[in-house]
Amino acid sequence: MSDIVYPPVIKTALGLFKALNLKFRLEGTENIPGTGGAVLVSNHVSYLDFIFAGLAAHPAGRLVRFMAKKEIFDNRIAGPLMRGMHHIPVDRDAGAASYKAALNALKGGEIIGVFAEATISRSFTVKEIKSGAVRMAVASKVPLVPVAIWGPQRMWTKGRKKRLLQRNVPVTILIGEPMHPKRGDDYDKVTEELHSRMSELLEKAQREYPDVPAKGETWWQPAYLGGTAPTPEEAAELDRREAEDRKARRESRPDAG
């Protein structure tokens, strides 16, 4: 697969991170396979996660093709970049096509990046995840690699203004040991194990994070650590209301019928 766009994008991003003096903690990079396909499954705390999850594979010299919602590809600026980096659009009304594209990429030796929570976690804990990532790994006979990211929520997350030029933000990226599910396994149990591993990695990243929130900034800390982020239950209710509002707006459009 020809990559004309991806390397310059990475180089630009790394240059920006250096200018902003972002402080990276990157651990477990040996868990990224040097060759062959893999499904990289990351938690989701910010709109920037695909950039940082992609960095998990950078030391291994690998590029990650992320599955992302179709709306991003429709954006006049982001769209050409996403297509140029060979990421995979996900249309929630026609998911079979994106699943097939991901399988083809995995069988071709690519690393596919998945945010199994589907949307950003407002509680900054790992939300419920579905078994799609496990099924892709089994169908393609490739490993699952859990990843936890912590820190980017301070720059841009759901319900907060962008602070993309914020300096000196620590960013933690932890890569867990690969899982090797196979046909005949209980996919729900494997998914539960994946969720557990991601949660353990995220909690480690959060508890060992070098910064503590300043006064008035406790919004970016999870409730279980004394922050004012919504609890998982409160976040689920907010997500439910948002989904209902989105459905109502969609149904009210003139072309809805």
107 domain-assigned: yes
Q: Is residue 247 part of a domain?
A: no
C-alpha to C-alpha distance for 92 and 84, rounded to whole angstroms: 22
pLDDT in tens, 117-140: 999 999 999 999 999 999 999 999
| 33 within a domain of the structure (yes/no) | yes
pLDDT of 1: 66
Q: Which CATH number is 98's domain given? A: 3.40.1130.10
112: left (phi over 0), alpha (psi -120 to 50) or beta: beta
59 within some domain: yes
User: Does 248 reside within a domain?
Assistant: no
- Per-residue model confidence as pLDDT tens digits over 161-192: 999 999 999 999 999 999 999 999 999 999 99
More reliable by pLDDT, 94 or 103: 103
Residue 75 confidence (pLDDT) above 80: yes
Q: Render pLDDT for 8-49 as a digit per residue (tens, 0 to 9).
A: 999 999 999 999 999 999 999 999 999 999 999 999 999 999
The whole domain housing 19 covers 6-228
User: 147 in a domain, yes or no?
Assistant: yes
Reported as a pLDDT band with limits 50, 70 and 90, residue 112 is very high
Domain-located, residue 45:
yes
CA gap 110, 196 in Å, rounded: 25
Q: How many domains does the chain have?
A: 1
pLDDT at 95 over 90: no
